[in-house]
Structure 1
Amino acid sequence: MKRIAIIMVDDDEIARVLFEDAVEEAREYVKDISFSVDGVDLLERLRRQGEYASMEEEALPDLVVLDLSMPRMDGYQLLEELGKDKAFENIPIVVMSTTSDEQEVKRCYSLGAAGFIVKPASMEERLKAVKSLASYWSNIMAVPRRVSY
C-alpha cells in the first residue's frame, strides 16, 4: 500500500488541528502531513520562495487539501494559479469547505479541483471523511509520480 504526503491549506488553526487529529486515525495511508496558512504560503513553499527559499529539496505532495476562505489568496485564486503552472498540474487538489452551494462547487471543479468535500460538523464524521480521502488517494487513484521541487 502506498502512503501519501498531504499539504492542507487553511488559515484556521482549529481546522488544521482537527484535520491533523483526523489524519492520525488514517496513518496507515498518510506518510506526511504539513500545512500552509493560505494560497500565497503554499505557492511560496512549492516554488521555494520567501521563507522557503533555503528549504531542502523535497518531493511534491501527493495531495493538497484546500479551504476556500483565506486571506491574501483564497482557494479559488490558488486553484487558478496552480492550474497555470505546469510543474504542479498533476497534484490533485481536493477542496474541503463549509459551503455546499452548488455554484461554488461547480466553480471549484471548473478551476481544476479533483474533488470537493463539505467539512463535516462532527469529529466522528470528520474522521470518516479524512480516512476515506486518504484511502482513496493512496490506494485507488493512480496519479503521476512526483518529482522534487
Structure 2
Amino acid sequence: MADLSAPPDDRNASPIHVLVVDDCWVDRKIVDKLLKTSSFKVTTVESGKKAMEVLGLSEEKVDHSSPIVNGQNFNMVLTDYCMPEMNGHDLLVAIKKDSRIKSIPVVIMSSEYNASRISRCLTDGAQEFIQKPLKIKDVQRLRNYVNPASATTKTGTKRKVLVDQIPESNEAERRPPFAGVAVG
C-alpha cells in the first residue's frame, strides 16, 4: 500500500534521512517515533560529540574526500540546543564549516525560548529554530528544508528580523480568520 503521508511526488523517492541529536533519551524516542511515522529514516545519537563522529567530523575519523559520511547520507540534522559538552549551536557551526556537509540543513530544537539564542542560530545557518516538544506540523515543515523547490528560500538576515518581531510573551499574534481578505 502506498504511503499517503508523503507528498504525492515524493512517494517513490527514498526517505529523508535525519540525524537526531538530543541528550534526553525520552525526547530522542519521541522525535524518532514522530519522524518514522511520517516516513523519515532516522538515526539518533545522544550528544553533539557523537554526532560529530557519525558525521565524520571528529579528529580521528576525518575523511575529507567523501560527501557521504560513515556510509550514511544524511538529508538533515535535527539537534537539541541545550546539551552537555557541545550544544546545538556548536554542532551547527562545525557542520557549516565543513565543505562536504555544509549544505545539509540543520534545524535546532529547544524547550527554552531565548530570542538572542534563536537569532544567533538562524544567523549562523540554521534552517529553523523549533520550540519543543516537536509537533506534527513541525515535521511537515521539515520536509520542505530537504526539498527546497517546494519551499521559499529564506536568508539569515530576513529570518533574524522575523525572530526579533516575535512577541516577548511567546504567544502567537491573534488575528481574525479573514483579516486582509477582500470580500466582493
Q: Please give the TM-score of this superposition, normalised by the length of structure 1.
A: 0.76
Deviation at 1:127, TM superposition (A): 2.8
Kept after mapping to 1: 8 A contact 2:45/2:51: yes
Q: Which runs of 5+ in 2 are unaligned?
A: 1-9, 63-68, 150-184
CA RMSD of aligned residues (A): 2.4
Q: Which has the higher strand share?
A: 1
Change (3 A) 1:69 1:36: same
Structure-2 residue corresponding to 1:137: 145
Q: Partners of 1:85 and 1:113 in 2: how far apart?
A: 14
Query: Cα offset for 1:129?
Result: 2.1
- Cα distance in 1 for partners of 2:35, 2:129 equals 18
1:6 maps to 18
The residue type paired with residue 129 of structure 1 is D
Residue 16 (structure 1) aligned to one of 28, 37, 42: 28
Q: When you count helix as a share of all residues, which structure comes out higher?
A: 1
Contact kept in structure 2, 1:39 and 1:72, CA below 8 Å? yes
Gaps of 5+ in 1: 143-149
Distance 1:134 1:114, change over 3 A: closer
Q: 2:92 aligns with which of 51, 65, 79?
A: 79
Q: Does 1:47 align with 2:60?
A: no
> Normalising to structure 2: TM-score of the pair?
0.63
Q: Amino acid of the residue matched to residue 20 of structure 1? A: D
Q: Is the 8 A contact 2:81 2:89 kept in 1?
A: yes
Q: Where does residue 65 of structure 1 map in the other structure?
A: 78
With over 3 angstroms needed to count, the CA separation of the structure-2 counterparts of 1:43 and 1:15, relative to structure 1, is: same
Higher RCO (CA < 8 A, seq sep 6+)? 1
User: 1:146 — aligned with what?
Assistant: none
Matched-pair contact (CA < 8 Å) for 2:127–2:145:
no
Over the matched positions of the two proteins, sequence identity in percent amounts to 27
Checking the alignment, whether the CA contact within 8 Å between 2:54 and 2:70 is kept in structure 1 is no
Contact 1:4 1:134 in 2 (8 A): no
